[in-house]
Structure 1
């Protein structure tokens, strides 16, 4: 859901309609680089360089039937038949292991369309079974298959005040330990802090998950702006690591 909010914002920033075509009368200037995150097809349509995965179909089906259903290639939306039941082990070993090869194959196809692949951005929550277990497995396999390509993740940490799942702390601890060696840079988002910003600073009396996700999308957009627009700082993913991570295990 965070990723969906991010692509919605990227489209607005680059003048791309929900069907993937540029708005009539909108000119992409030389200072923009939408091709960093989009593949431009021969007939002018832009397709996100993204693979969106969930072990159960509910959220992916919302994208398949939502406003941006024509933006993504159908192969980029992957859903399983049963979720990880908020269990790290099910996401990493049993249910997640059944889908990992399919996901990696789709990632490979998207990566092959990149003329100069720098790395990967991952969006996930640390509290659920899919976000914690499956993504830990995916990070390990990406490290094996793509070596030193950068892996940056935007991780939503569970908060005690907004925690629908009692085992979220266990999932968060297990996935933090499991990905220390694989994620090069992690941007941590606290659910409760985002909720408070919406309620206090943005005057949203009862923030919904859509409000929270769109606020997180603004953060992601700001962080990745130097990849998509001309600038002198942080022009590639490796520089994020160099500038932000003095020691790998921090």
Structure 2
């Protein structure tokens, strides 16, 4: 059994996560409430002859009641983006403990995400991740989704990566990150956040898949005919 735990941090990470889990559910035929519609077998099947597709177990964990819960944690220092999940179509898919939000955001400030507000929430996050890791029989590693420009995406991610390296030093950590671009920018300090988080996560990340905000912006413009893409479009 090989499992991966996904960690979605900040607005970008959480909104990318929404799109990802929607696709994972479609791919494995899992409904928005976590159940899989399937024919009920009349007679019990021998384990050897059982042709059950368990490929979903990499990303989902099955509960005793037959629900499939994503192996994912959503973290944001302010509640609005995560509240959209709590009230959205897929609210029945996630366990409330997986959605962790603080009361005030990092205000695009790396230091707030890493030192002040991040410090208050990091232990909660690590205990949730530990719980999730305990449910895995062969944890392969972590997929971390975040942006480099935001305060939470940069500051909190680097704090979490440092802590994960201490607790799970043998596990791989893959990053899926959104790099800021001057054309699509909401904060002047994005370059500073990026440099600070790049410096701290360089030694803790095994592999990083980067997308540039400007490139996604152009895709939205050219291929999807969205005139003025917002962050929600970009993250999807």
Match of residue 69 from structure 1: 91
**SS of residue in 2 equivalent to 1:51:** strand
**SS of residue in 2 equivalent to 1:97:** helix
Q: Which has the higher helix share?
A: 1
When the two structures are superposed, what TM-score results if normalisation uses the length of structure 2?
0.86
**SS of residue in 2 equivalent to 1:189:** strand
CA distance in 2, matches of 1:167, 1:187: 22
Match of residue 226 from structure 1: none
Alignment of 1:11-160 (within 5 A): 11-24=25-38, 33-160=55-182
Match of residue 16 from structure 2: 2
Deviation at 1:75, TM superposition (A): 0.4
Match of residue 236 from structure 1: none
Q: Which has the higher strand share?
A: 2
Closer, same or farther: CA 210–12 of 1 in aligned 2, 3 Å: farther
1:195 counterpart = 2:204? no
Deviation at 1:31, TM superposition (A): 6.1
Highest RCO, 1 vs 2 (Cα 8 Å, sep ≥ 6): 2
When the two structures are superposed, what TM-score results if normalisation uses the length of structure 1?
0.81
Deviation at 1:126, TM superposition (A): 0.4
Aligned length: 212
CA distance in 2, matches of 1:2, 1:77: 14
After superposing on structure 2, the runs of 4+ consecutive aligned residues of structure 1 that deviate more than 6 Å are none
**SS of residue in 2 equivalent to 1:81:** coil
**SS of residue in 2 equivalent to 1:84:** coil
CA distance in 2, matches of 1:209, 1:11: 23
Unaligned 5+ residue runs, structure 1?
215-250
CA distance in 1, matches of 2:109, 2:165: 23
Deviation at 1:203, TM superposition (A): 3.3
1:204 counterpart = 2:218? no
CA distance in 2, matches of 1:165, 1:211: 18
Deviation at 1:209, TM superposition (A): 3.4
CA distance in 2, matches of 1:207, 1:36: 33
Larger radius of gyration: 2
CA distance in 2, matches of 1:24, 1:118: 29
CA distance in 2, matches of 1:38, 1:126: 27
Unaligned 5+ residue runs, structure 2?
1-14, 40-50
Match of residue 222 from structure 1: none
Deviation at 1:63, TM superposition (A): 0.6
**SS of residue in 2 equivalent to 1:122:** strand
Deviation at 1:44, TM superposition (A): 1.5
**SS of residue in 1 equivalent to 2:220:** helix
Deviation at 1:211, TM superposition (A): 3.2
